[in-house]
Amino acid sequence: MDTGRTTSTSSQPFPAVRHIVWALAVGTVLVISGTRHERPPLPPSAGTEAPVAPTGSTGRPAAPAQALAYLAPRRPVPEPPSYVSRSSVAPAPLSLPPLRPAPLRPLRTGPAEAGPGELGPAGAAPATPVPALSAEAPKSAVRPLTPSTPLRLRIPALRVDAPMMKLALNAAGALEAPPDDNPVLAGWYAGGTVPGAVGTAVTAGHVDTRLGPGVFHQLGAVRKGASVEIVRADRRTAVFTVYAVEVYDKKAFPDRKVYGPSARPELRVITCGGDYDKKTGYQDNVVVFAAMTAVR
């Protein structure tokens, strides 16, 4: 029975053929690009910047061969740091200072300074003030100490705290100085009175050395009334009070006045001073006179 509807039986092209063609094209492209990535890239030519090496997911180069391939062949190799390689040349010795520091000149501790009318030419003060020893040594009822080896010499006003060594006389009969290679060392005349005992004890030290300023570089700045302390091996400290500071020409040094005997414990602190001559050294001596006033 005819219903008036007809069915079409014509054949349509199969759609999967087109998909297969596209898949083959894409696969060919992927294969070709894959073979290119497997080859290590050529190093960059001169004048061009080296590309950054490809990295994996961890941020590291994909392979050591590929990372090395990215290094430019003409890239300069950095020099190692200076502290890695040691020079075969020995360091030059330290050069000594060409000039010795001038010591401080002693301050006037005797009579009052002269007025304007008593000054030298053009109103200038004397170049080397020499304080007179007119002031009497301070009187003290402190008992003298028995002899004991001195260990340290201290001058608090100058911040001096020096170890002490024994000194002797040289062939000419002059007092030897401490070694010139130890700026902080002082000495005492072991053939005389021990500091703190009855008599005149003598100590000495350098104003400067070949290594720099000596232990008594500022001795000339000591004022009358300052303290000089001698620490002894018997654990007692003899305290001396300065009552005069004088400067003497070495050619006319008053041995008797400086080294003469005393009926009580006295101390002399001696160093060089005045002008310096390269051949003969310092021309003067600075001498501090002190008397024992306390024992600790």
Average pLDDT for the chain: 73
CA 96-100-106 angle, 5° bins:
155
**Across 73-78, average pLDDT:** 57
* pLDDT 10s digits, 261-272: 999 999 999 999
Pairing of strands 227-232, 212-213: unpaired
Residue 290: Cβ within 10 Å count: 29
**Across 200-212, average pLDDT:** 91
State both tokens at 262.
């005393």
Residue found by looking up tokens 């030290």 in the block: 205
Name the least confident of 123-127, 181-185, 290-294: 123-127
Compare 152 and 66 and report the one with higher pLDDT: 152
The answer, yes or no, to whether residue 260 has pLDDT greater than 50, is yes
Alpha helices in 119-168 (DSSP H): none
The answer, yes or no, to whether residue 192 has pLDDT greater than 80, is yes
* pLDDT 10s digits, 271-291: 999 888 888 888 999 999 999
* pLDDT 10s digits, 122-164: 333 333 334 444 456 666 678 999 999 999 999 999 999 999 9
117 pLDDT band, cuts 50/70/90, is very low
Residue 193: the pLDDT is: 95
Residue type, 230: I
Compare 45 and 200 and report the one with higher pLDDT: 200
**Across 34-59, average pLDDT:** 54
Among 232, 296, 294, 292, which Cα is nearest to 262's? 292
The answer, yes or no, to whether residue 235 has pLDDT greater than 50, is yes
Residue type, 203: T
The set of residues, in sequence order, having a beta carbon less than 8 Å from that of 179 and lying 6+ positions away, is: 185
Residue 277: the pLDDT is: 86
Burial class (CB in 10 A: 0-12, 13-18, 19+), 14: exposed
Residue 23: the pLDDT is: 78
Instruction: For residue 158, give the DSSP letter.
Output: G
Residue type, 79: E
107 pLDDT band, cuts 50/70/90, is very low
Residue 163: the pLDDT is: 96
The set of residues, in sequence order, having a beta carbon less than 8 Å from that of 177 and lying 6+ positions away, is: 167, 187, 204, 205, 206
The answer, yes or no, to whether residue 258 has pLDDT greater than 60, is yes
Percent with pLDDT over 70 in the chain: 57
Alpha helices in the chain (DSSP H): 16-38, 64-69, 255-259
Compare 79 and 117 and report the one with higher pLDDT: 79
The answer, yes or no, to whether residue 206 has pLDDT greater than 70, is yes
113 pLDDT band, cuts 50/70/90, is very low
Residue 228: Cβ within 10 Å count: 25
Domain ranges of the chain: 131-295
Name the fold adopted by 131-295. Sortase; Chain: A; (2.40.260)
Name the least confident of 9-13, 16-20, 96-100, 228-232: 96-100
173 pLDDT band, cuts 50/70/90, is confident
